[in-house]
Amino acid sequence: MDFEIEPLAGAMGAIVRGWTPGKPLSEQDRETIGEALRQYLVLVFRGQQQPTDDELVAFGSAFGDLLQGSAFLERPRDHPEILRVGNLVGEDGKPEGTGGASMMDWHSDYSYVDRVGDVTFLNAVELPRTPPHTYFANQYRALETLSEAMRDRLYGLRALHSVSHYYEDGGSQDVERYRADRERDRKAGIEAPPIPEAEHPVIVRHPETGREILYVGPAITRSINGLPAEESDALLAELHAHSTRPDNVLAHDWETGDLVMFDTLGTLHKRDAWDPGERRSMRQMSTVCRID
C-alpha cells in the first residue's frame, strides 16, 4: 500500500492515509507502520472505509497476538478480540458494550494482566456531536525527564495494577451496569471469570526495542510494593503529575471512522466524559506481550 504519513505537532502522533481495509498487509506494509509507530507512538488512520469486524481483527493480528478482552470485560461475542466501548443499548435493553459515558483517567490498557497490552487499536464507529477527546502521554519521555536521583530510586521497584476497585467500589454508571450484568449472569447460571490483577516493574523495557518506559498510571496502579501506604501514594502522585504534564500530552480530535493505533506500553491515555444522552460506539483491540 502507498501510505502517506503526516506528523502532528507536539508531543507525538501522525496521521496515516492510504490504508485499504480488507487488503492484506505486505511485509513492507507492516514494517512501514511499525517504524512509524515506534517513531510517533500514536498513528491515526483516517480517510479509509470503515472496516468490518473480520477486517479489523485481521489488521490487528498482523502486529501480534490479540488479547480476548471481551472474555472478562463483557459477554464473549463472535469476535472476542474486539471490546465494544460505548453507551449503546440493544433492543433487548442490554448494553452493547462496556457502557457508561464517564471520564476515564490515565491508564495503560491491560496493565492488570500478566501479558500486558502492547499495541492498542481504537476505532470510532459512532460519535456524539461533540466527541470526547482521547489524550495520550509519552511515557518514554516521562522517564527520560525525571531526575537521575528519581530514576535510581525507581529501578527495582514493582507496582500492583488492578481495576477491581473500579468495578466493585465505585459509584459510576459503568460500575452500576457491571454489577447488574454480573448479577443477571449469576442468576442465569453464567460463570464470568474474575477480573485479574498483576504486578509489574515501575520501569520496564519494551520487549522489541529495549527502550525504557515509566509504567504507572493513576487509574490502575494501586500501590508500589514494599513501601508504606503513605509513601507509596505520595510517590505515585508525583510520578503521575510529572508524566502527564501538558507538554507531554497529545489530545486527539476524533472523526467517525478513525482508527487510532498506539504504543500501549509507551503511552498512557485517558478519555473525556460526554453527554450520556448521545451515542458513542468504539471498537477496541490490543496485542499483548510480557514485560517481566
CA distance linking residue 126 with residue 82, whole number of Å: 16
What is the Cα–Cα distance from 274 to 128, expressed in whole angstroms? 8
User: Tens place of pLDDT for every residue, the chain, 292 residues?
Assistant: 899 999 998 879 999 999 999 899 999 999 999 999 999 999 999 999 999 999 999 999 999 999 876 555 545 567 888 988 877 666 665 666 666 678 889 999 989 888 899 999 999 999 999 999 999 999 999 999 999 999 999 999 999 999 876 555 544 445 555 555 555 445 545 455 566 789 999 999 999 999 999 999 999 999 999 999 999 999 999 999 999 999 999 999 999 999 999 999 999 999 998 888 888 999 999 999 999 7
Q: Which residues, including other chains, have CB under 8 Å from residue 30's CB and lie 6 or more apart?
A: 62, 63
- Domains of the chain and any CATH numbers: 4-289 (3.60.130.10)
| Pairing between β-strand 212-214 and β-strand 42-45 as defined by DSSP bridges | unpaired
For residues 149 and 161, give the distance between their C-alpha atoms in angstroms, rounded to a whole number.
24
Q: Is the separation of the CB atoms in 26 and 55 below 8 Å?
A: no
